[in-house]
Amino acid sequence: MAERPYIVGNWKMNGTRAMLSEARAIDRAAQRYMKVEVAVAPPYTLIHAVHKEAEQIGIGAQDCHSGAEGAHTGDINASMVADAGAKFVILGHSERRQDHAETNELINAKIESALEAGLRVILCCGESLETRDAGEAESFVLGQLRAALPIFQDPADRLTIAYEPIWAIGTGRTATAEDIAAMHRAIRALLDETFGEDVSAKVRILYGGSVKPDNAREILAVPEVGGALVGGASLSAENFLGIVVGASEAEEV
Ligand code: PEP
């Protein structure tokens, strides 16, 4: 891995203030694993509180609106999450694409607005099982990225890609090391072509999909993998830290 591995927890629609003790435990432990960059994306309602607790870990949001302020009841834009203490935002997660019919074009607009607001971006991509079984996983994922990657702003070191096969999210199934490596290579080639090799080299490509303490080391030892986006296992400090330890061990191999 070119840079420190990046381990990001996505709490999804989980967590009340009772979860702040988990955030504190993650933050304290992260200070012992400085070779790993650790971050958490709590729900909007906890961003400020987790930000105030955290000394070491990065805090992010799980989504943001693409626009400036205005009449959009219930929405939160990029400047607002930055103001609450978020340093990054996860965009294009498959659950947002599915539950909120988010298109690649909308995700692209969100990315431009997040970069404009000074946030780092984790752009998610990934295919369904039907697409993989049809032999179209690579072309599908590259198509998602081509349509969503920022055009107007050079992302420099503020972009991360998360490859998350939909069929591996929350299911206990993970892709094989060979499949992960092959997809990450294809994504890297696209980044090289789009931004040039110097900028591309600063973009980490994470894997996501049922990463747990017992499989983290193997997945993170795949040379193409720059870290992990973790859903379910990030809700407990103990499990999440097991993954951070796996990343630290994989780094030493
Ligand atoms: C995710 O939703 O980003 C994810 C990877 O979830 P899980 O780890 O629970 O599969």
Task: Assess whether the C-beta atom of 231 lies below 6 angstroms from ligand 1.
Answer: yes
138 catalytic residue (yes or no): no
* pLDDT value at 42 more than 90: yes
Measured by CA distance, the residue closest to atom 4 of ligand 1 is 231
Q: Where are the domains of the chain?
A: 6-252
CB 48 within 8 Å of CB 16: no
Instruction: Write the class of the CATH domain 6-252.
Output: alpha beta
pLDDT at 1: 42
pLDDT at 253: 67
Within the chain, strands assigned E span 6-10, 37-41, 58-61, 88-91, 120-125, 159-163, 204-208, 227-230
The per-residue pLDDT for range 221-236, each reduced to its tens digit, is 999 999 999 999 999 9
pLDDT at 152: 79
DSSP string, 148-198: HS-SSS--TT-EEEEE--GGGTTSS----HHHHHHHHHHHHHHHHHHH-HH
Measured by CA distance, the residue closest to atom 8 of ligand 1 is 231
pLDDT at 2: 54
Q: In a mutational test of the pocket of ligand 1, which residue from 99, 211, 215 has the highest number of ligand atoms less than 8 Å from its CB?
A: 211
Pairing state between β 37-41 and 58-61 = parallel
93 catalytic residue (yes or no): yes
Q: Please give the share of the chain, as a percent, with pLDDT higher than 70.
A: 99
